[in-house]
Structure 1
Amino acid sequence: MRSILTAILCIGLTGVVKATDGRWGQGCTYITLTKQIYCFGGEPFSDSNKQIPVYSLNVTDNSVVDISNPVWNTIEGVPNNISPSAASRFIFAAVPDTDLVYLKGGIVCTACTYNSGYFYNVTSNQWKKTNTETPVYAAAFTPVNNNLYYFGGKTVTATGFDTPKTILYNYVSSTVMKTGVGGPNISPLNGSAPIQDTWAASMVYSTTYSLLIIIGGEQGSEVSGPVAMDDIIAVNIKTNLYSKWNDTISTTGSLPPTRWAHSLIMDPTNTNAIMFGGCDNNGGAMNDLWLYNVVKRTWSPQKTTGTPPTPRCRHSAVVVGKYMFILFGGNNDVFNADINVALDMNTWEWTTAPVIGTPSISSSTSGSNSNPTSPGVISSNKDDTSGISGGAIAGIVVGAIAGVGIIGALFFFVFKRRNRYSNANNHSEDFSKEENLINKQNNVIPSQSVDKRAYASPETMVKPDQSVPGSALPAGRIILEPVKPNGIN
């Protein structure tokens, strides 16, 4: 029986791939409730006549993630269901406290329709259209509590939108993330100075000052070319005041090189914006790391240890706990498919084996999950502890998702077999010890079947102790007798 279970598990894992194709301009984000990184789209475009797959990477708590050879799970789209067009350089962000991702805009595949607003439910693998707003591409964006703010960008015919000319933007717009309904534009008030049209910039939010900080990118209107790195745009979302911080200096005397399509996140202290990579005007990529101090308005190069990622732009930077993962990107139109390393933002060390949470010593160690923090604020409460080792959880989660239908069929077969024995001989002592063990295990039936996985509305909450749909994992010691995940002794 163990050999049968092992074979079924192997069949269920056929959707797991060791690597994905190289790309840039993709969208990637981390869902706290499922503890996975999800990525979609990017260039070169996939076949526009098919559902575009979503890729997920398991970063379960209490585990060491091998990102030198990452294992991605390919989540194929559901045929004939609504879905966005293949796209690049779009808005892509996790909706806080839900299993939803919001997508909007981007350059789309040839002859494809434009992407207005969509929700993707990672639990049900379903897309849902939320609005018909004008698409933008290369906009800087960041979530703040329950709202998504985005600045600048362009609308052109390549976005699939019927427009005779290029539309440039120089203001902040918003979307209510849990409904997908567009919020009002933040128009400059209180004598704010006009801000230049900007695209391919990056943006973060400072909770201390209620400021959106926009750095780098390309600019149009009266001035063209790259945005100077001492020309920082700050927007107060409470007062609608737009400012340009032209007094920014560098602690070393030399400002960072100008760039576009770089990544920008806030550090654990919520004081410094961490800038990585980007491309220059010739398309050459960088892999340097700089800190922008919001309080002092100063740039400082940050020294690191370990081997940094290769130079790239149009990549994704995803925060999981104290780590910043660098995903995909490109350099002079050469696309990267790797996640070279992750940055420990406490020690400034690049590593190929980030430790997510606190690794448990054995599978019997118990613990509890902590509440997630709001986007942009990094806290140790994301480093949850769990009652199962990371390898065990990874095996359970992937096996349950990929093979639940086949496992269910196996359980049905075993029950039928048990009934046949029972009818032939009513004495349970005639069963072998192995049959008794199997029947005892199969008496534990999941309380929620696959058929009950309906599309969750934005308001639907998933319990913090759930990694996948269904009953929460039991507390205490769990013995994995039939199948043991790799690496568990």
Structure 2
Amino acid sequence: MVRKLSTLCAMTIAILAGSDVTWAIQFREQFASAVVNKILYVHGGTLVDLGLQTPLNELYALNLSTPFTVSTAPWFSLNSSTGPVHIPALLSHVAGAGGPTNSLFFVYGGLNTTNSSSSAVYYFDPVANEWSQPTVEGAPTTGPVGGVAVSDLQTHALYVWGGQNVTQSPVLVLDTRDPTKLAFSTVAAQADGPPGPRSYATWSMLSTGVAVLIGGAGPNATWLSLITVWAFDTASLKWSMHPFLLTRQYPLPHPQNTTGAIPSPRIRHSAAVTAADEIVVYGSTFQSVSPPDPLIVLSTTNGSYSWRVVNATNSPFSKYEFLLAGAYYAGNVLVFFDDPQGTIHDLDTTTWQWTDSYVPRADATVNGTYSSTSSGSGQPSVAGRVEVVTWAGAIVAGVAAMMAMGL
């Protein structure tokens, strides 16, 4: 299996070598992104400067296995893919990894070019360099808009939850083990599950198969407190609530509580899960003012949740209030697209400092964790909004060096 995955990665990188390299991506929001093997993909979204909310049919990729300077991160354009299915134009959709070897990039839901909810599932095969739109058994008639998704790389399942204007949302489970026989199953909404609707939140999959929901905005654009953390167990298919230990506003029993410093509420933040199953949360602004705790970490050791604030130097906070995305790979957390220049930032989780150069650590564990951020189909009616998403990157042009390293 390891040899097969290495071969797939090498084939993917070789194909990227024949693609166009761009040193900047035109700034966008409400896109979907995911890390598949060693590649970060960014798909769709809408251009902020136009203000037209028109979905894009674009796909870009970034190789996370080699170093690069964050200010000149080289992206590969995959906008000339082959095959009968064109790149789908979507915004406010979700993405994830899937397939029998987790080598396919899936997208689902969101709004299409007619401003209608898309119910289609698409996937991109980087080896064949083509998109597919398969028939999916049990697919809902309408897809989620502004939902969140997490990938379980052990079971090859994509879990989708939430969306705008959804009071109680079921969890949709897409079985991707056989791309020719894709099927949805539904986990009914729980009466004691997370309240909805909720937008601009993050959902992060731990290596234990537990997906943790953080932050977001509720009804009337109310920012939801981080006093409470919700978690979905993909084994039991049940939600659980983890209130802050020192509060008594939530009735017991609840098996775990959240301890540590209570972070500021936030929306449109980024989240990324490290190899140690820590969820690194960054960003969110209010009226162009940085929150007092822009960088926070949720430890989930042994199922016990604890917050801490990290006071890192050279914080990349900008005055802009745009959607963020985050990704973890080999000891680094990438945060991207927080300004009109489409900037990427790198956080070294060994020193907990922001750096100018992305360098994947050879000794760092890369596990099956995954994070997603929900976006909205429009801007929430709240002053000082902040938007969040998860994952983005860049690809370095040294393909010969990559092949020499055996990638």
Q: TM-score, normalised by structure 2?
A: 0.71
Whether 2:309 is the aligned partner of 1:301: answer: yes
Contact kept, 8 Å, 1:274 with 1:289, in 2: the verdict is yes
What does residue 276 of structure 1 align with? 282
Q: SS of the counterpart of 2:241?
A: strand
What does residue 273 of structure 2 align with? 266
**C-alpha distance in 2 between matches for 1:229 and 1:201:** 11
Deviation readout 1:435-460 (Å, 9 max, x if unpaired):
xxxxxxxxxxxxxxxxxxxxxxxxxx
User: Shift of the alpha carbon at 1:205?
Assistant: 2.6
**C-alpha distance in 1 between matches for 2:370 and 2:166:** 29
Note the 1:374-393 alignment, pairs <5 A.
374-376=368-370
User: Shift of the alpha carbon at 1:226?
Assistant: 2.3
RMSD between superposed Cα atoms in Å: 3.8
The structure 2 residue matched to 1:338, chosen from 343, 348, 352, is 343
What does residue 357 of structure 2 align with? 353
Note the 1:226-265 alignment, pairs <5 A.
226-248=223-245, 255-265=262-272
Deviation readout 1:178-230 (Å, 9 max, x if unpaired):
346343222367xx62431123211123344x43211111224xx87222211
What does residue 453 of structure 1 align with? none
User: Shift of the alpha carbon at 1:13?
Assistant: 7.5
Contact kept, 8 Å, 1:37 with 1:59, in 2: the verdict is yes
Contact kept, 8 Å, 1:290 with 1:299, in 2: the verdict is yes
What does residue 59 of structure 2 align with? 54
Change in Cα spacing, 1:140 to 1:278, as seen in structure 2 (3 Å) is: farther
Q: Which runs of 5+ in 1 are unaligned?
A: 1-11, 155-165, 360-369, 378-389, 398-466, 468-472, 477-489
Note the 1:462-477 alignment, pairs <5 A.
none
Change in Cα spacing, 1:93 to 1:329, as seen in structure 2 (3 Å) is: farther
Which one has a larger percent strand, Structure 1 or Structure 2?
A: 2
What does residue 250 of structure 2 align with? none
Change in Cα spacing, 1:474 to 1:345, as seen in structure 2 (3 Å) is: closer
Which one has a larger percent helix, Structure 1 or Structure 2?
A: 1
Change in Cα spacing, 1:182 to 1:303, as seen in structure 2 (3 Å) is: farther
Change in Cα spacing, 1:214 to 1:113, as seen in structure 2 (3 Å) is: closer
Change in Cα spacing, 1:137 to 1:336, as seen in structure 2 (3 Å) is: farther
Q: SS of the counterpart of 1:278?
A: coil
Query: Could you tell me which amino acid in structure 1 is paired with residue 145 of structure 2?
Result: Y
Change in Cα spacing, 1:329 to 1:125, as seen in structure 2 (3 Å) is: farther
What does residue 109 of structure 1 align with? 113
Contact kept, 8 Å, 1:248 with 1:298, in 2: the verdict is no
Q: SS of the counterpart of 1:68?
A: helix
What does residue 463 of structure 1 align with? none
**C-alpha distance in 1 between matches for 2:162 and 2:185:** 15
Paired residues in the alignment total 340
Query: Could you tell me which amino acid in structure 2 is paired with residue 42 of structure 1?
Result: G
Query: Could you tell me which amino acid in structure 2 is paired with residue 175 of structure 1?
Result: L
What does residue 15 of structure 1 align with? 20
Deviation readout 1:59-78 (Å, 9 max, x if unpaired):
34xx4311111122222234
Contact kept, 8 Å, 1:22 with 1:336, in 2: the verdict is yes
**C-alpha distance in 1 between matches for 2:167 and 2:259:** 34
User: Shift of the alpha carbon at 1:168?
Assistant: 4.4
Change in Cα spacing, 1:13 to 1:235, as seen in structure 2 (3 Å) is: closer
What does residue 202 of structure 1 align with? 202
Contact kept, 8 Å, 1:23 with 1:336, in 2: the verdict is no
User: Shift of the alpha carbon at 1:345?
Assistant: 1.6
Contact kept, 8 Å, 1:54 with 1:77, in 2: the verdict is no
Deviation readout 1:151-180 (Å, 9 max, x if unpaired):
2113xxxxxxxxxxx554433221113346
What does residue 159 of structure 2 align with? 149
Deviation readout 1:339-358 (Å, 9 max, x if unpaired):
1x211122212112122245
Contact kept, 8 Å, 2:64 with 2:360, in 1: the verdict is yes
Change in Cα spacing, 1:246 to 1:224, as seen in structure 2 (3 Å) is: farther
Q: SS of the counterpart of 1:56?
A: strand
Change in Cα spacing, 1:228 to 1:345, as seen in structure 2 (3 Å) is: same
User: Shift of the alpha carbon at 1:137?
Assistant: 1.9
**C-alpha distance in 2 between matches for 1:320 and 1:236:** 23
**C-alpha distance in 2 between matches for 1:313 and 1:296:** 32
The structure 1 residue matched to 2:91, chosen from 74, 88, 91, is 88
Q: TM-score, normalised by structure 1?
A: 0.60
Contact kept, 8 Å, 1:25 with 1:315, in 2: the verdict is no
Query: Could you tell me which amino acid in structure 2 is paired with residue 303 of structure 1?
Result: N
User: Shift of the alpha carbon at 1:128?
Assistant: 0.6
Contact kept, 8 Å, 2:55 with 2:113, in 1: the verdict is no
Larger Rg: 1
Query: Could you tell me which amino acid in structure 1 is paired with residue 323 of structure 2?
Result: R
Change in Cα spacing, 1:264 to 1:395, as seen in structure 2 (3 Å) is: closer
Change in Cα spacing, 1:77 to 1:301, as seen in structure 2 (3 Å) is: same
